[in-house]
Amino acid sequence: MKHSFVVVVIILCLFLISQIVGLLVTRAYIDFSASEKEGVLVWKSLPAVGGLSFERPEISSEAVPWYVLFGVFVGTFLVFLLVRFRQLWLWKLWFFLAMFLCMYISFFAFLNGNIAIMVAFVAAFLKVFRPSLILHNLTEMFVYGGLAAIFVPLMNLWSVSILLVLISVYDAYAVWKSQHMISLAKFQMKAKVFAGLLVPYELPKKVRVGVQKKIRTALLGGGDIAFPLLFSGVVMKSFGFWQSLIVSVTTSIALFLLLYLGQKNKFYPAMPFLATGCFVGYAVVFLMNL
């Protein structure tokens, strides 16, 4: 087993909660009354900040996988540039803005606009500049729902499936071949700014993310949470909320198998396993609806 049983259970619980919260956020952006009148699924607009509206990209569903993959490549390249030139403050500023926007979109689904923006700002600020384990993992529950609210309306089952395959291939290459994903994760930990779940084997006296490097810590990258959520979100569009939960469950089982069968002190690309869990879940949903 890659981690202790208790740590594995905690990771699985946090992962599953993130998936469910993300689906609830995405569902909250569906305009059910307008959808009933139009006969097609109608999505609510994303919230604005200071009069500046955030719009979903106007691209076809077929282009979304390549759009996202290109964004991953560019983002990774920019992070390595920041590492190369030691511009840690730029990385933290970029990370803060991304966390703020994603959490604002998530909180806006359930809260008044002014309250949502204040909570998102404070949460993002503390997450980046005053990090703690509890706050870090708590905010991770809401970050990916914001991403799903942006991208799920743009995709269909075909495009999101292609995206999972492309990301899985890239993840396997980045971990097993080039290993730059491992270097990126280590940089984020060193910078005390990490996208994903952090579960230490023991709690330090000061419960801070920065202390994690001194004790063994289980990690699950943010992409490993976001991409399965995008898939289950698209399944929700086609079959409904409860059916999409089946995908979340099968993906959680796939994650458990990876953690159970994995060896200690070895890095594994999670996306090939999680993508398999997504496809198995879709197969179950599909068969149930025949």
Q: Which tens digits make up the pLDDT trace of 163-172?
A: 999 999 999 9
Amino acid 13: pLDDT: 95
Instruction: Tokens for 251, please give them.
Output: 């993906």
Amino acid 211: pLDDT: 45
Strand partners, 197: 220
Region 100-121 average pLDDT: 93
Amino acid 12: pLDDT: 95
Region 14-29 average pLDDT: 96
Say which residue the tokens 């071949």 belong to: 177
For residue 84, pLDDT beyond 80: no
Contact status, residue 22 vs residue 233, Cβ threshold 8 Å: yes
Instruction: Quickly state the pLDDT bin for 74 (edges 50, 70, 90).
Output: confident
- Is residue 179 helix, strand or coil? coil
Encode pLDDT of 188-202 as tens digits.
Answer: 766 677 888 888 877
Amino acid 109: pLDDT: 93
Encode pLDDT of 39-51 as tens digits.
Answer: 889 999 999 877 7
Instruction: Quickly state the pLDDT bin for 212 (edges 50, 70, 90).
Output: very low
Instruction: Quickly state the pLDDT bin for 215 (edges 50, 70, 90).
Output: low
Amino acid 21: pLDDT: 96
Our count of domains for the chain comes to 1
Instruction: Tokens for 286, please give them.
Output: 């599909």
State the pTM of this model: 0.90
Task: Indicate the residue type of 54.
Answer: F
- Average pLDDT for the chain: 88
Question: Quick one: what percent of the chain has pLDDT higher than 70?
Answer: 94
Region 65-87 average pLDDT: 83
Instruction: Tokens for 238, please give them.
Output: 């086609």
| Sequence-separated (6 or more) residues with CB below 8 Å from residue 102 | 142, 143, 144, 145, 146, 147
For residue 204, pLDDT beyond 70: no
Give the structural domain span for 119: 5-288
Q: Which residue has the higher pLDDT, 214 or 247?
A: 247
